[in-house]
Structure 1
Amino acid sequence: MVSLFGGKEIEGMKEMVSLKLTVPIFMLFLCLHICCGSTLTYVKDPVLTIKQEDSMLPMISPTGTPQPFLPLLAPSPLAPFTNATVPKLSGLCTLNFSVAESLMSVTSVDCWSVFAPLLANVICCPQLEATLTILLGQSSKETNVLALNGTVAKHCLSDIEQILVGQGANDSLAQICSVHSSNLTYASCPVIDVNEFEDTVDTSKLLAACEKIDPVKECCAQTCQNAILEAATRIASKASDLLSTDGAHDILPDGVSKVNDCKSIVLRWLASKLNPSHAKEVLRGLSNCKINKVCPLVFPNMKHVAMGCGNGISNQTACCTAMESYVSHLQKQSFITNLQALDCAASLGMKLRKSNITENVYSLCHISLKDFSLQVGNQVSGCLLPSLPSDATFDSSGVSFLCDLNDNIPAPWPTSSQGAGSSCSKNVKIPALPAAASAESGLYNDDVMLSLLLASGVVLMMIL
């Protein structure tokens, strides 16, 4: 069989070697699903299949290894970047894009074409938001203001999209990441002038708390997050209607909105005091604390699971078949981190308990954390992203990102009083990043981690 990848195979890593062919084939079909409207389905065992709507696609045996579909003349893997289109800019945006040139290149890869919806929650959108914050922060060093007016904001957002799309990013980023031109304005925050900001806020305290953060400890200690909240509350208090008038120090509902808007102003000021690459690390670290607190999956109706597993399990096979079918729908949504998978397992478990399913169906049906993420590989294994910030990379092999395929941690079944809980108090220990066993460039880091590589030429052939 012809491999879509170059490089040497590593002995003793049978699962890795088998995935070298099946991962790109999976991504090829996934891209067809997104771009051409094909329907992906999961069947029992489970084996990834595709309902063919195009006679040009290769037939796939339900039991055999799929044959690679190679174009006769595939475009160069570097096509998205070496043949980047020249963006048509408005000429009316005041932002200096050159100060964040390398940052925008990273963003275009993180949000690359067909990957953007699948990596939106964990990689793409946090990186896009960090890029916007840094552009505004760096611009304030020349304009002395930390926000744009509504008209200029529209031009700037359009220009940013044009630049990113020209470098290979998805052309619907604003929709995917729910970014609007108002995100570049002051919204309801009363302070946007740099001098007024620095006169109002204890900037030394803020910078000391946020200049350098530990992406693991910060999520629990919240040292920088508390400093940002304090600074945002202080500048929001410039508005006379922030606090209640009953003598308490509670913030009114409208005041909460002002504080949230002012947090964006605080982050932009921080970005102006750090170099772009350092600012990116801080902003991505802060956003990751929010990401790992919430399960991003949408849970469909579970009446079939309730029928098969509720009120005592009389038929284990029927129950597990219903569970597998239900989980397969979750596996079609997006890549998630290992901590998000823990949150998803807890959330689903509580919903199942409310449906009168009291027995541990996770253990009964062998549901693990990786079953909550998109499935890849010959054996259809779940891909869990690291819980710490990471980026996709682009080279001659294509687009790649770290993915844990072998972390078979059983999904924990919640107790009757247990909620999703906090990642700071979780009993299950999950590595935030893989421990690299060699200095290789990410194709093989150890026998647990795999860098998912996409043959760009094949995908481009399908898109064009």
Structure 2
Amino acid sequence: MPGICKWQCHHLFLSPFSTSLFVNKSQGSPISTEVDELPPAFPPSTQPQPFIPLIAPSPLIPFTNNSVPKLSGLCSLNFSAAQDIMTTTATDCWTSFAPYLANVVCCPQFDAMLVTLIGQSSKYSGVLALNTTHASHCLSDVQKVLVSQGANENLKEICSVHPTNLTEASCPVVSVDEFESVVDTSRLLTACRKIDPVNECCDQVCQNVIHYAARKIALNDLSTSDGNHSLPGPKARINDCKNIVVRWLASKLDPSTANSVFRGLSNCNLNKVCPLVFPSVSSVVKECGHLIHNQTACCKAIKGYVSYLQEQSFVTNLQALKCAASLGKKLQNANVSKDVYSLCHISLKDFSLQVGLQESGCLLPSLPSNAVFDGTSGIGFICDLNDNIVAPWPTSSYLLSSSCNRSMYKLYQEFLAACSYSQLQSFITN
């Protein structure tokens, strides 16, 4: 049965059992872009502790510093229109563990909030993008507001968001009036006013309509471009125009609904790939390649390799499937033919950050989820600590690219619908 990780912060101390997140600050962000070799192996007596061990409760301190941020005064975005969403974003991107929730929770929510802010403001400005100078002031002000509510001060870097992300980039249509004169807005609203996060990832109804609208406005002025070769390619223009399309959607939906729609759409892409970075598998190949002569040495090697992956990030159930398949393919290509996952009892949750003295991996739901702030208990989020599904060894019939897994999505949808936050808290503390 899934459990809930309850985080209560006293710097890095959490509850209800109180939980502590150990971060090696010299390593910076846990998610890197390139890793060639594993760090030196630890002797058995000095194996690192799980990243989130359960320890004795610590005193509760305020979660926000309640400071009043000093803003530029040069940003016209209507922050009050998305106040609740900004609070949600600050919680999802909470200080010390924002990097560990970045790819699944924090950054998707940060992106959805920015789209909603610009969309809501377009109702008064009449434009669906900011100019570069305005974007720079607004992004800075947004981060200051979020930090004042407890968010990580390096949020822009963690989520790789730049002022240009708030502009029109290469999309030729910026004004609301021009957009509505070109796009079939009725069709767009019908497809995207409300989405089912399971069916949308499989059927892509809203995504297809967004793509069609983006393509239409991306090609809107090509006939008058006089062969301007400085224009980016069609794919880049269409992607830039998708930002314009979703901002227009945000202007027609209430902020909460818009946020839910955009989180659902981003989740479809999020679950398609494994976010972990795989270093060289040479140490595993040495012990597990060809015929395995020493099972103990092989299992020690694969478990040591996986323990390094566990230091990077939380992943969803579907992402864990992708990670298991990606690593399995990497090993197979290096002449590891034996199913070392079954041989060495490697489960899906072994690919995620570890929680508790039992060193149990925390798999986040594959459906969009948020951290939750409770004035007494702290910050919590739902994760599955007890699902010991053996990681599937890749076969020729295994489909790696699809994010459409209705059965797994439905399982967690039913679970989340059946359990209130208080029930989940009760489950883990009893």
Give the TM bin, normalised by the shorter chain.
0.7 to 0.9
Task: Name stretches of at least 5 consecutive residues in structure 1 with no aligned partner.
Answer: 1-12, 52-64, 246-251, 452-464
1:66–1:190 distance in 2 versus 1, CA, 3 Å: closer
One-letter code aligned to 2:287: G
Please report how far the alpha carbon of residue 439 of structure 1 lies from its aligned counterpart in structure 2 after TM superposition. 4.5
In structure 1, the residue matched to 2:63 is: 80
1:321–1:289 distance in 2 versus 1, CA, 3 Å: same
In structure 1, the residue matched to 2:93 is: 111
On the 8 A contact 1:42/1:49 being kept in 2, the answer is no
In structure 2, the residue matched to 1:344 is: 323
On the 8 A contact 1:338/1:430 being kept in 2, the answer is no
Partners in 2 of 1:278 and 1:425 — Cα distance?
24
Please report how far the alpha carbon of residue 110 of structure 1 lies from its aligned counterpart in structure 2 after TM superposition. 0.3
One-letter code aligned to 1:87: P
Please report how far the alpha carbon of residue 403 of structure 1 lies from its aligned counterpart in structure 2 after TM superposition. 0.7
Partners in 2 of 1:36 and 1:298 — Cα distance?
15
In structure 2, the residue matched to 1:323 is: 302
Aligned pairs for 1:83-102 (under 5 A) are 83-102=65-84
Per-residue CA deviation, residues 214-256 of structure 1 (Å, 9 max, x unaligned), is: 000000100000000000000000231799x9xxxxxx97111
In structure 1, the residue matched to 2:128 is: 146
Partners in 2 of 1:355 and 1:368 — Cα distance?
21
Per-residue CA deviation, residues 431-464 of structure 1 (Å, 9 max, x unaligned), is: 3343566556154375xxx59xxxxxxxxxxxxx
Partners in 2 of 1:241 and 1:355 — Cα distance?
51
User: What secondary structure, in the 3-state scheme, does the structure 1 residue paired with 2:404 have?
Assistant: helix
Please report how far the alpha carbon of residue 35 of structure 1 lies from its aligned counterpart in structure 2 after TM superposition. 8.8
1:122–1:242 distance in 2 versus 1, CA, 3 Å: farther
Aligned pairs for 1:369-384 (under 5 A) are 369-384=348-363
Aligned pairs for 1:115-194 (under 5 A) are 115-194=97-176
On the 8 A contact 2:273/2:401 being kept in 1, the answer is no
Partners in 2 of 1:256 and 1:339 — Cα distance?
27
Partners in 2 of 1:137 and 1:179 — Cα distance?
17
Deviates more, 1:432-441 or 1:262-271: 432-441
One-letter code aligned to 1:89: L
Partners in 2 of 1:192 and 1:225 — Cα distance?
20
Per-residue CA deviation, residues 18-61 of structure 1 (Å, 9 max, x unaligned), is: x9999778842425x34998x9997769975389xxxxxxxxxx
On the 8 A contact 2:14/2:57 being kept in 1, the answer is no
Please say if 1:444 is aligned against 2:422.
no
Please say if 1:209 is aligned against 2:191.
yes
User: What secondary structure, in the 3-state scheme, does the structure 2 residue paired with 1:191 have?
Assistant: coil
1:428–1:66 distance in 2 versus 1, CA, 3 Å: closer
Per-residue CA deviation, residues 342-367 of structure 1 (Å, 9 max, x unaligned), is: 01011111001001001111100011
Query: Normalising to structure 1: TM-score of the pair?
Result: 0.80
1:440–1:380 distance in 2 versus 1, CA, 3 Å: same
1:242–1:308 distance in 2 versus 1, CA, 3 Å: farther
User: What secondary structure, in the 3-state scheme, does the structure 2 residue paired with 1:401 have?
Assistant: strand
Per-residue CA deviation, residues 184-234 of structure 1 (Å, 9 max, x unaligned), is: 101000001101000000000011000010000000100000000000000
User: What secondary structure, in the 3-state scheme, does the structure 1 residue paired with 2:114 have?
Assistant: helix
On the 8 A contact 2:4/2:424 being kept in 1, the answer is no
Per-residue CA deviation, residues 301-339 of structure 1 (Å, 9 max, x unaligned), is: 110000000011111111000000000000000000000
The correspondence for 2:341, drawn from 362, 387, 391, is 362
One-letter code aligned to 2:56: P
In structure 2, the residue matched to 1:55 is: none
One-letter code aligned to 1:96: N
One-letter code aligned to 1:333: Q
On the 8 A contact 1:93/1:159 being kept in 2, the answer is yes
Task: Name stretches of at least 5 consecutive residues in structure 2 with no aligned partner.
Answer: 31-38
In structure 2, the residue matched to 1:30 is: 22
1:440–1:227 distance in 2 versus 1, CA, 3 Å: closer
One-letter code aligned to 2:63: P
In structure 2, the residue matched to 1:303 is: 282
Per-residue CA deviation, residues 136-176 of structure 1 (Å, 9 max, x unaligned), is: 00000001000011111000000000000000000000000
The correspondence for 2:402, drawn from 417, 422, 425, is 422
One-letter code aligned to 1:237: L
Please report how far the alpha carbon of residue 16 of structure 1 lies from its aligned counterpart in structure 2 after TM superposition. 9.0
On the 8 A contact 1:297/1:333 being kept in 2, the answer is yes
Please report how far the alpha carbon of residue 424 of structure 1 lies from its aligned counterpart in structure 2 after TM superposition. 2.3
Partners in 1 of 2:420 and 2:89 — Cα distance?
25
On the 8 A contact 1:23/1:378 being kept in 2, the answer is no
- The CA RMSD over aligned residues, in Å, is 3.3
On the 8 A contact 1:22/1:377 being kept in 2, the answer is no
On the 8 A contact 2:98/2:106 being kept in 1, the answer is yes
Partners in 2 of 1:402 and 1:188 — Cα distance?
39
1:220–1:166 distance in 2 versus 1, CA, 3 Å: same
On the 8 A contact 1:270/1:279 being kept in 2, the answer is yes
In structure 1, the residue matched to 2:371 is: 392
1:316–1:50 distance in 2 versus 1, CA, 3 Å: closer
On the 8 A contact 2:250/2:258 being kept in 1, the answer is yes
Please report how far the alpha carbon of residue 368 of structure 1 lies from its aligned counterpart in structure 2 after TM superposition. 0.7
Considering only CA atoms, is the larger Rg found in Structure 1 or Structure 2? 1
Partners in 1 of 2:401 and 2:346 — Cα distance?
20
Please say if 1:68 is aligned against 2:56.
yes
1:100–1:399 distance in 2 versus 1, CA, 3 Å: same
Per-residue CA deviation, residues 353-391 of structure 1 (Å, 9 max, x unaligned), is: 001001111100011100000011121000000000010
1:35–1:169 distance in 2 versus 1, CA, 3 Å: farther
1:427–1:400 distance in 2 versus 1, CA, 3 Å: closer
Higher relative contact order (CA 8 A, sep 6+): 2
One-letter code aligned to 2:164: S
Partners in 1 of 2:112 and 2:335 — Cα distance?
43
On the 8 A contact 1:384/1:405 being kept in 2, the answer is yes
